[in-house]
Structure 1
Amino acid sequence: MALHRQNSGLAEKCPIRGVLDRLGDRWTVLLLIELSSGQTLRFTELRRRVEDISPRMLAQTLRHLEEDGLVVRHVHATVPPRVDYTLTALGHSFFERVSGLIDWADQHQHLVRAARAAYVAPAANAPM
């Protein structure tokens, strides 16, 4: 249940809203980074690489990426079951566009952190 979404039908009419929602997801970009090398990675390996993601959120995010056609899931009939994930051609195309944003964040993170540290909320300085 997504409380932040409106029921007005505008979301369905906007052609980019769904894609931007996926990009804005907290875990999507981190998983795309891990899968961008072209390797097939197991669920447990993805969980190890993205240390602070819960198994539930990892499964949910991977399901959404699979639903959008960005990731393909391979289930192997072994005991215990082995599940691998790989970026699709569409996923690589998506990652190519997102990589510019990732590069910008990497190059400017120190400036953003400095701005956050220097920021003083206007309400904090207002006389009472």
Structure 2
Amino acid sequence: MSATNTAVTPQASAPAPAGPCGDDDCGIRDVLDRLGDRWTVLVIVELSKGVRRFRELERAIPGISQRMLTLTTKRLCRDGLVERNAYPTIPPQVDYRLTETGRSLAGAVSALADWSRAHKDPIAAARARWDAEHSGEL
């Protein structure tokens, strides 16, 4: 093959492997994209405690900027996980609450947090062993 030939040889058509949901599109990628966001889980956890105003959320989540909280809450509202209520006051008041779908996700997030707590020490020990055995490889 010449250095300028970058064509890909077509492979025989093979059936695509089934994803984590089998052959159907269960939406897992969308959910993981949302949960993989740095702030989403923290907002859901805070809202699982009850209705929160914007500033309450901002104070309760260390390190989140006003811009990121705005983007995160908008995305969660778009996904139907959070409901936003704006009141016609001066200054405007806005509060957020989990929808029924959001509350069901909060249960799954809570289970994941419980799992994380229960396995924090074994994971830290495994990482320490790995690092000791593989130091210098990176």
- Report the TM-score when normalising by structure 2: 0.72
Distance 1:77 1:118 in 2: 57
Partner in structure 1 of residue 5 of structure 2: none
Distance 1:23 1:31 in 2: 11
2:72 counterpart of 1:61: yes
Query: Aligned residues, how many?
Result: 113
User: RMSD of the alignment, in Å?
Assistant: 2.1
Contact 2:45 2:109 in 1 (8 A): no
Q: Would you identify which runs of 4 or more consecutive aligned residues in structure 1 move more than 4 Å? A: none
Deviation string, structure 1 residues 24-82 (Cα, Å, up to 9, x no partner): 11111111111112x21001000111011111111111111000000000111122211
Q: Secondary structure at the match of 1:124?
A: coil
Amino acid at match of 1:85: Y
Q: Secondary structure at the match of 2:64?
A: coil
Partner in structure 2 of residue 23 of structure 1: 35
Change (3 A) 1:76 1:105: same
Map of 1:1-128 to 2, 5 A cutoff?
14=25, 15-37=27-49, 39-120=50-131, 122=134, 124=136
Distance 1:125 1:94 in 2: 39
Distance 1:63 1:125 in 2: 42
Structure that is richer in helix per residue: 1
Partner in structure 2 of residue 4 of structure 1: none
Amino acid at match of 1:61: T
Distance 2:45 2:76 in 1: 13
Amino acid at match of 2:117: D
Amino acid at match of 2:41: V
Deviation string, structure 1 residues 98-126 (Cα, Å, up to 9, x no partner): 22111111222233334334442736159
Greater mean deviation of Cα atoms: 45-54 or 105-114:
105-114
Contact 2:86 2:94 in 1 (8 A): yes
